[in-house]
């Protein structure tokens, strides 16, 4: 079991690791996460050389390619600053799998040091910045989706929910099978499309059953999967990343 992280005192600067999905599909979620960090008085640094954490190749069984990409990330965040990641899954890769990926290699120590600086965005907002959120939106019922790696690797789902629960007008409803995977699983969705389709179909039915108008999650892989399935079924439920949702509720 991964050891619980030790949280640093509030820094003045942080790095932002966008993740490839936020970078290319959900940049507005990334901007919201950055703005919320800035609102707490932090300077957010966005290293240009960053790309993907390497998890897609790593989980597909291509560690050589994953390592090549991971090596770039080790170099892209050189200073001893917290690295904030708006994803439990990519966070899990950076924090828990980098040391494993570089086991027995010269980069192992660097990977260890890097891993210790990684924080999932919501976890950081809650424990390090200890944010207080003021809800400015209308009443809304929201269904929460826990990504498997946020739940079982990073173990930060309670942090995400705690942030949502700070929003006075938001009713957070839990799914009947909250702890069951949505069926994304990176390349799983294309290598086992039928099983993945069955899983996301059940997840959408579960969400529908809550009567929620919005689905909020901290992981863009799940969001792309569930959001895409919601839209494909023509449902009005909108999927949104946690940071974007909080920004929308507390801004202006």
Partner 1 sequence: MGERPAFDFRGNILRALADGQLRRNLQSAMDGLIRKRRAVFDDPAELEALRTVGQSLKQAALSRLPALLEELEANCTANGIQVHWAETAAEANRLVLAICQGERATRVVKGKSMVTEEIGLNHFLADHGVEVLETDLGEFIIQLAGEPPSHIIVPAVHKNRDQIARLFHARIPGAPYTEKVEELNAIARRTLRQKFFEGQVGVSGVNFAVARTGSLCLVENEGNGRMCTTVPPVHIALMGLEKVVARLEDLPPLLRLLTGSATGQIVTTYVNLISGPRRPGEKDGPRELHLILLDNGRSRILADPELRQTLQCIRCGTCLNHCPVYVRIGGHAYGFVYPGPIGEVLTPQLEGLARAGVLATASSLCQACGEVCPVRIPLPDLIRRMRTDGACQGPGGPEDGCRPPLWESLAWKIWALVNTHPGLNALGNALLGRFGRRLPRRGPLAAWSAVRTPPRFAPKSLHALAVKEGLPHE
Tell which positions 202-231 bind partner 1, by CB under 8 A. 224-225, 228-229, 231
Contact status, residue 27 vs residue 56, Cβ threshold 8 Å: no
Task: Pick the binder of partner 1 from 9, 190, 236, 252 (CB under 8 A).
Answer: 190
Q: How far is the CB of 139 from partner 1 (least distance, A)?
A: 28
Residue 192 contacts partner 1 per CB under 8 A: yes
User: Smaller CB distance to partner 1: residue 38 or 169?
Assistant: 38
Task: Pick the binder of partner 1 from 199, 207, 215, 243 (CB under 8 A).
Answer: 199
User: Smaller CB distance to partner 1: residue 163 or 189?
Assistant: 189
CA separation, residue 40 to residues 16, 44, 88 (Å): 14, 11, 21
d(CA 108, CA 67): 11
Q: How many CA atoms lie within 13 A of 230 on its CB side?
A: 25
Any residues with CB less than 8 A from the CB of 150 and at least 6 apart, and which?
A: 87, 88, 89, 91, 92, 120, 156, 157, 160, 218, 219
Contact status, residue 231 vs residue 238, Cβ threshold 8 Å: no
Q: How far is the CB of 169 from partner 1 (least distance, A)?
A: 28
Q: How far is the CB of 166 from partner 1 (least distance, A)?
A: 26
Range in contact with partner 1 (rule: CB under 8 A) among 67-75, 126-134, 161-169, 240-248 = 67-75
Say which residue the tokens 């949280």 belong to: 7
d(CA 41, CA 35): 10
Q: How far is the CB of 121 from partner 1 (least distance, A)?
A: 13
d(CA 17, CA 30): 9
d(CA 164, CA 109): 36
Residue 247 contacts partner 1 per CB under 8 A: no
Q: How far is the CB of 233 from partner 1 (least distance, A)?
A: 8
The secondary element (H helix, E strand) that includes residue 121 is helix 121-123
Positions 3 through 62 that interact with partner 1 (CB under 8 A) = 16, 18, 20, 22-28, 30-31, 34, 43-49, 51-52, 54, 56-62
Q: How far is the CB of 136 from partner 1 (least distance, A)?
A: 22
Q: How far is the CB of 135 from partner 1 (least distance, A)?
A: 25
Q: For partner 1, what does the binding mask look like between residues 133 and 162, x meaning CB under 8 A?
A: ---------------xx--xx---------
User: Smaller CB distance to partner 1: residue 5 or 54?
Assistant: 54
Q: What is the CA radius of gyration of the chain?
A: 18
């Amino acid at each position: 079991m991964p050891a619980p992280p030790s949280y640093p005192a509030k820094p003045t600067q942080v790095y932002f690791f966008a993740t490839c999905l936020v970078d290319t599909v959900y940049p507005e979620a990334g901007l919201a996460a950055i703005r919320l960090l800035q609102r707490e008085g932090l300077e957010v640094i966005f290293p240009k050389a960053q790309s993907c954490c390497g998890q897609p190749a790593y989980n597909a069984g291509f560690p050589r390619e994953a390592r090549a990409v991971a090596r770039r990330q080790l170099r892209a965040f050189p200073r001893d600053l917290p690295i904030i990641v708006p994803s439990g899954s990519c966070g899990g890769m950076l924090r828990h799998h980098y040391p494993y990926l570089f086991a027995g290699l010269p980069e192992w120590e660097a990977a260890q040091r890097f891993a210790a600086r990684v924080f999932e965005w919501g976890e950081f907002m809650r424990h390090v910045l200890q944010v207080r959120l003021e809800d400015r939106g209308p009443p809304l019922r929201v269904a929460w989706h826990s990504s498997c790696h946020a739940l079982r690797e990073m173990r930060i789902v309670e942090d995400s929910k705690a942030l949502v629960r700070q929003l006075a007008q938001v009713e957070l409803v839990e799914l009947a099978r909250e702890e069951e995977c949505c069926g994304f699983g990176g390349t799983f969705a294309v290598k086992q499309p039928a099983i993945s389709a069955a899983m996301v179909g059940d997840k959408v039915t579960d969400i529908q059953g809550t009567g929620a108008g919005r689905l909020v999650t901290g992981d863009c892989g799940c969001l792309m999967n569930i959001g895409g399935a919601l839209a494909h079924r023509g449902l009005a439920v909108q999927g949104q990343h946690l940071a974007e949702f909080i920004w929308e509720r507390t801004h202006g």
